[in-house]
Amino acid sequence: MSDVGGDFRRQLPSMIGMAGMFVATILLAIFIRPWYDKAGLQAFGEAGASQLRYIGLELIMIFIFTAAILMLAKYKKEWVIKYGIMGILFIALLYANVPLAHQIMVDDSVTPFEYDSVDETNATYLTEIGMDRYLDSIRSDESGEIINTIRLMQWGVNEPIWQSEIPHGDLADPFSELVVVPGPDSITINNAGLIHTLSLLDGTLESTYECLYTNEEGYVQPIIPDGCQLATETEDAVYIVDGRDRLHRFNTFEESPNVMMKQATWRLPDNLKVFELIEAELLSDNHLLMVSNNYSGVVLLNETTSGIDPIGQEDFEPVQMLIDAESDAGFSSLDVGYSNVADVAMQNSTDEEQLIVLGTKDGDVLSWAYSPSESEVFAKESRVSINAFANEIRDVRLTDIDASGYTELLITTGKDARLLYGSSMVQRLVLDVPEGLDVAVTFGETPADVEDETIHLYAAVLNPSTIDENAQRVNASYTTSSGVVDSSMFLVGGIVIEEIPLILGVLFSLLLMILLYVHSEWYVVNTVGILVGGGVIVMLGVSFVPTLIMVFMIAAAIYDAWAVYKSKHMLDLAETMVNLNLPILLVAPQDSDYSLRSERTSLHEVEEPPKTDSEMPRERVVAKSNDAMLMGLGDVIFPGMLVLSTLQFVEGDAGVLMAITTLVGSLIGYSVLMYFVGKGQAQAGLPLLNGGAILGYIIGGLLTIGIAMFQFNISF
């Protein structure tokens, strides 16, 4: 093989042609990725995408493959290599050509979703109840007394399931908001003056407790120094959080209704601020879930402290947090419901398993399994915890759109709602959602839906109450947009195989294999190489998160450098593939009359510039033959995998931008590689190509999602 230094102008067409094939292979993988994505064809399943041991397995398989080829070549078993690899290549071609034929020929477009009604309700949205119900309140003062009418509503139905009138109280600030804490069977509503508990079954007022009283001098005083900011009632106590983030237990007595007596006080974590409360929910008599702006967790509701709290003591005993989480960007939403990754339908469940799901303002999803009957009551649910799902999450909701008893996760981002279907969490539905900071999005089935066998999506934008220029309250409202969702709007899920695309994909693969056998020219080798490379890129790219792909790339680059410069066995492997005309490489001819079939030059026989006695011979895997530039297919596959993995696991515009910077970075690495090759300096391909791709990924990540670019719940 001749020296590659010298005339760059003569080599430039080969370099550009190689770069074109490099990009074409990756673009092919991107084009067929939706077919793999819809089919859920991850090499090690969804859970395996973030497990390091499978990357180790891939590396071991590469070592075994290389050793097997070299051993067969050493014992002159080239025919075993040729026909064995051709069999593997045929299978790999099927994995590229069958999806390609389906992507070109099968129309899997969906019917666009449209809202058919918009209604404004002059009431304050309080909280969701279950999957398709919610609470709101209407404030009135026509009689001179402020009354809050609490209504349990079902989406799509104008009349409430029940409504209950509760007094605002003469001592409470007339402008104070209602702070609501739902529980398993009741709901506690606090306005800093009165604490009311209503039955969720029928709205019956179960109890009322006073947070304010009038002293002997006629001044209004709180029962605890810093007032009642949040309250919830259990079977035998009322727990109150004051304005200084301290939790108080007041015992209650069945024989003395509406009477409570102070029992104990605890200190909440410093980051759990009641004035920044997003939502709270009483999970059981022992567990209170609280979500503030930057901190969330479950508080264990104890009965007593380890000591007595003297009056005026500031350093109270801290509460016991059973689980907690922090978010610098801030939490935005909460839902608690039947787990979407449960093994049995909810009607057959016996362990009362629930799922806690949180969304953050920068697009993360956090979740915990809640199993009150198990020894481990709370456990991180990694299957439903997703880093960088979108740029922003406005709402999360566990729902059962098909009434199967198995729930789905509905996540509302900055611009749309996405339904992750079943335990596999395949994205099956994407629907536009109106703009608005606070939204409530869910599916609802009205009596009309039951009759028509339809279901509605409801997206409510919540408008808070305001104070006008006359210091008068302008009541809150919510605007609900709704529209019918039907099966034609669902993204295609599962493996899609139709007869004609399947037959054409198989026939095209057979044709290429026949041409490869009888006429293994450079254009046949390149065609097969691009198709095989695209198929391998997408298969592995959708199977591993970017962090693991980068680990794979670094390990492969180190191995490539060692195999080229130290052991030199990679040269033997490349020489064997060239002489067998197998498309484990790409060929960029410099002249139109170039023939790969006549190319039989050993890669070890490279003309070198004059060298001193102390200089060692230099060899290269990425090289120019007598009339062509040669590149191993692995040099395209590894950077391409990172591009595909980025598109697969980083959602939204951030993923697209990061994929572009990754591709640009790999092309920069390719340019540097070609510079050294053109000068006749020996270079292994992967260190520069993989290094450029990784650097491009990091730059794209810094421009978009920051440190989240590495956070994909990696495990061993």
Query: 522-541 and 8-39 helices cross at what angle (nearest 10)?
Result: 40
Judgement on whether residues 78 and 193 belong to the same structural domain of the protein: no
Number of domains in the chain: 2
- The residue among 601, 604, 607, 612 whose CA lies nearest residue 579 is 601
Judgement on whether residues 52 and 189 belong to the same structural domain of the protein: no
Sign of CA dihedral 340, 346, 348, 349: positive
Q: What is the pLDDT of residue 446?
A: 78
**230: in domain:** yes
pLDDT at 28 over 80: yes
Q: What is the dihedral of CA 426, 431, 437, 442, to 10 degrees?
A: -70
**405: in domain:** no
DSSP string, 442-498: EEE--HHHHHHT-EEEEEEEEE--EE-TTS-EEPPEEEEEEEEE-GGGSPP-S----
Q: What is the pLDDT of residue 63?
A: 79
Cα maximum dimension of the chain:
109
**13: in domain:** yes
Residue 533: CA count within 13 A, CB half-sphere: 29
**695: in domain:** yes
Judgement on whether residues 283 and 202 belong to the same structural domain of the protein: yes
**99: in domain:** yes
Judgement on whether residues 90 and 205 belong to the same structural domain of the protein: no
Judgement on whether residues 93 and 173 belong to the same structural domain of the protein: no
d(CA 241, CA 188): 13
pLDDT at 612 over 50: no
Judgement on whether residues 182 and 97 belong to the same structural domain of the protein: no
Model confidence pLDDT, tens digit, residues 134-172: 999 999 887 788 999 999 999 988 899 999 999 999 888
pLDDT at 599 over 60: no
**DSSP code, position 521:** -
Centroid of chain to Cα 571:
41
Among 265, 298, 326, identify where a domain stops.
326
Question: In the beta sheet, which residues pair with residue 250?
Answer: 238, 262
Q: Which residue has the higher pLDDT, 330 or 610?
A: 330
Question: Sorting pLDDT into bands at 50, 70 and 90, what band is 283?
Answer: very high
Q: What is the pLDDT of residue 568?
A: 66
Model confidence pLDDT, tens digit, residues 445-455: 877 788 788 89
Among 264, 298, 326, identify where a domain stops.
326
**DSSP code, position 520:** -
Max avg pLDDT among 33-37, 89-93, 518-522, 679-683: 89-93
Judgement on whether residues 531 and 628 belong to the same structural domain of the protein: yes
Judgement on whether residues 75 and 191 belong to the same structural domain of the protein: no
Judgement on whether residues 635 and 516 belong to the same structural domain of the protein: yes
Q: What is this structure's pTM?
A: 0.67
Question: In the beta sheet, which residues pair with residue 265?
Answer: 248
The percent of residues above 70 in pLDDT, for the chain, comes to 86
Q: Where are the alpha helices (DSSP H) in 318-430?
A: none
Residue span of the structural domain in which 216 resides: 168-326
Question: Sorting pLDDT into bands at 50, 70 and 90, what band is 610?
Answer: very low
- The residue among 500, 536, 632 whose CA lies nearest residue 88 is 536
Judgement on whether residues 52 and 183 belong to the same structural domain of the protein: no
**542: in domain:** yes
Q: Which residue has the higher pLDDT, 711 or 624?
A: 711
**79: in domain:** yes
Mean pLDDT value of segment 489-504: 79
DSSP string, 398-435: EE-TT-SS--EEEEEESSEEEEEETTTTEEEEEEE---
d(CA 316, CA 230): 18
**211: in domain:** yes
Judgement on whether residues 499 and 635 belong to the same structural domain of the protein: yes
d(CA 182, CA 152): 12
Mean pLDDT value of segment 43-67: 78
Q: Where are the alpha helices (DSSP H) in 631-681?
A: 634-649, 652-678
Q: What is the pLDDT of residue 623?
A: 45
Among 306, 326, 346, identify where a domain stops.
326
Query: H-helix or E-strand containing 186?
Result: strand 186-190
Judgement on whether residues 299 and 181 belong to the same structural domain of the protein: yes
d(CA 704, CA 653): 9
Q: What is the pLDDT of residue 624?
A: 46
Model confidence pLDDT, tens digit, residues 185-206: 999 999 999 999 999 999 999 9
Model confidence pLDDT, tens digit, residues 456-480: 999 999 987 665 555 555 678 999 9
Mean pLDDT value of segment 6-19: 74
C-alpha pair distances (Å), 639 with each of 41, 560, 713 = 20, 14, 22
Q: What is the pLDDT of residue 2?
A: 35
